[in-house]
Amino acid sequence: MAKSHTRYVCQSCGASTARWAGRCESCGAWNTIVEEAAENLAPKGQSAKGGRKLDFVDLSGATAEIPRAVTGIAEFDRVCGGGLVPGSAILIGGDPGIGKSTLLLQVVARLATRGSTIYISGEEAIDQVRLRAKRLKVEGAQVALAAATSVRDILASLDGTDHKDVVVIDSIQTMYVDTLDSAPGTVAQVRASAQELIRLAKRRGFALFLVGHVTKEGMIAGPRVLEHMVDTVLYFEGERGHHFRILRAVKNRFGPTDEIGVFEMTDRGLAEVSNPSALFLAERRGDVSGAAVFAGMEGTRPVLVEVQALVAPSPFSTPRRQVVGWDAGRLAMITAVLDARCGVSLAGADVFLNVAGGLKINEPAADLACAAALISSLTQTPVPPDTVVFGEIGLACEVRQVGQSEARLKEAAKLGFSKAFLPKRRRKQAMGDAPLELVEIDQLAELVSRLDGDSSLRRKRA
């Protein structure tokens, strides 16, 4: 039975054809058809009819505890959900040069003391990896190293009888399967290579790391195809020029998502940062206007960061709105609410907003802190010292409840803060025993009057 090895699949609608075409006949999209390796549902001539009957079971029943390989790098283990699960595939995405290879070399070196680890580099020569290992002071670790790009060779080498615990493929964009004609790095190659490697990892029960470079559009190459194939997706991010690096879980079948691990890039590799709040607030000047400390949550962990704003008269007819580390859409919403509901106009002013330290915040709970920074910059009045701020702002000017207030306040108290601006609590539940003065803000206008001592904003309006 002759079977073609490849087929052509539209990446937009999923229609499959035997020949390549510039335009998909099914959905009409242009340039979406790519070559893929054909999958055989029934290998070696078996028909799907001959499939095995499934054993259905109840929802209740004993479940085995998932065994996990713990690296001992606490920031890494937490993001993985408590360690690596055998047979799982983990994709680590990030900009080139951010430190993915460094992190994984440190991880496998740690794991090498307890199991068999393999590092396959498709990007760097053996000598380069060895030099890095020396720099990281892990050259003594029992890591089996190889430089290879052919998936066929890798499969042949890994499919032996001896057990492997962890395999790193750095990076998936350099790997190729020889049954496809397209070049390494194309969607078809990335997908086919990943599929083969993941299948082997599941069969042989080793944890597989795939390094993936992020394209200019911020996606792991191959329109997110890889994200669906793996069990865990981690992003390694950081601002260029900062040495903080944040490892973020965006998908995890074996643990929580939205957990972060914070690292600092040093001249001897990545060092764990176990108290990120202290680091993000290290360079804070207490008494300047235009800054507010936001008590945020990253997964289960409270993180305090400084939000800075600068409002300045604009020389342009269309004033600038620049945001680093936060959502520009939410800034527009807050300026609109300030203008329409609180009489604080930012028209004709350039607005710059920055989350200090290179962290990206995506919680709506940061609204109130951003508004406080904006108002403080506008009135040139500092936010009261040692104050943390959190709360979501609604379009009707109301300040809404956010989750995990207690954890936020506890962290603030731990770092020496004495006051908090927070949403009005519905129930007067105890906020732990945090020794903070709690200032409940029900309406955004209340915050404006608190930070606008001599009412200059409202006088201007009158």
If contact means CB under 5 to 8 A according to the sort of partner, which of ligand TYD, Mg ion, none does residue 94 touch?
ligand TYD
Q: Distance (Å, rounded) from C-alpha 33 to C-alpha 12?
A: 8
Our CB check for Mg ion shows the closer of 101 and 377 to be 101
387 pairs with which residues across the strands? 419
By CB under 6 A, the count of residues binding ligand TYD is 15
Q: Does 269 bind ligand TYD (CB under 6 A)?
A: yes
Q: Of 267-275, 320-328, 343-351, 367-375, which part binds ligand TYD (CB under 6 A)? A: 267-275
Q: What is the DSSP string of 231-292?
A: SEEEEEE--TT--EEEEEEEEETTS-SS-EEEEEEETTEEEE-S-HHHHHTTT--TT-SSEE
If contact means CB under 5 to 8 A according to the sort of partner, which of Mg ion, ligand TYD, none does residue 331 touch?
none
CA torsion sign, 375 to 380 to 381 to 382?
positive
Q: Does 99 bind ligand TYD (CB under 6 A)?
A: yes
Our CB check for ligand TYD shows the closer of 214 and 331 to be 214
State phi, psi for 449 to the nearest 5 degrees: -70, -30
Q: Does 245 bind ligand TYD (CB under 6 A)?
A: no
Our CB check for ligand TYD shows the closer of 97 and 432 to be 97
Our CB check for Mg ion shows the closer of 101 and 106 to be 101
Q: Does 212 bind ligand TYD (CB under 6 A)?
A: no
In the complex, minimum distance from the CB of residue 188 to ligand TYD, in angstroms, rounded to a whole number: 23
Q: Does 102 bind ligand TYD (CB under 6 A)?
A: yes
Q: Of 185-193, 266-274, 345-353, 431-439, which part binds ligand TYD (CB under 6 A)? A: 266-274
Residues of this chain that bind Mg ion (CB under 5 A): 101
If contact means CB under 5 to 8 A according to the sort of partner, which of Mg ion, ligand TYD, none does residue 102 touch?
ligand TYD
In the complex, minimum distance from the CB of residue 267 to ligand TYD, in angstroms, rounded to a whole number: 5
Closest CA to 85 of 259, 225, 224, 201: 201
Among 68, 78, 110, 132, binds ligand TYD (CB under 6 A): 132
Q: Of 7-15, 94-102, 377-385, 417-425, which part binds ligand TYD (CB under 6 A)? A: 94-102
Among 28, 72, 96, 432, binds ligand TYD (CB under 6 A): 96
Q: Does 267 bind ligand TYD (CB under 6 A)?
A: yes
Our CB check for ligand TYD shows the closer of 271 and 407 to be 271
Our CB check for ligand TYD shows the closer of 68 and 100 to be 100
Tell me which DSSP letter residue 214 carries.
B
In the complex, minimum distance from the CB of residue 153 to ligand TYD, in angstroms, rounded to a whole number: 22
Our CB check for ligand TYD shows the closer of 245 and 408 to be 245
Buried b (16+ CB within 10 A) or exposed e, 276-300: bbebbbeeeeeeebbbbbbbbbbbe
Instruction: Give yes or no for a contact between 325 and 248, defined as CB atoms under 8 angstroms apart.
Output: no
In the complex, minimum distance from the CB of residue 243 to ligand TYD, in angstroms, rounded to a whole number: 8
Q: Distance (Å, rounded) from C-alpha 12 to C-alpha 30?
A: 9
Query: 367 vs 220, 288, 342, 362, 405, CA distance in Å?
Result: 30, 20, 15, 10, 15
Query: 25 vs 7, 21, 192, 237, CA distance in Å?
Result: 15, 8, 24, 39
Burial class (CB in 10 A: 0-12, 13-18, 19+), 28: exposed
State phi, psi for 145 to the nearest 5 degrees: -115, 140
And the tokens for 324?
A: 């680093």
DSSP reduced 3-state for 49:
helix
In the complex, minimum distance from the CB of residue 207 to ligand TYD, in angstroms, rounded to a whole number: 19
Instruction: Give yes or no for a contact between 46 and 219, defined as CB atoms under 8 angstroms apart.
Output: no
Binding site for ligand TYD (CB under 6 A): 94, 96-102, 132, 135-136, 265, 267-269
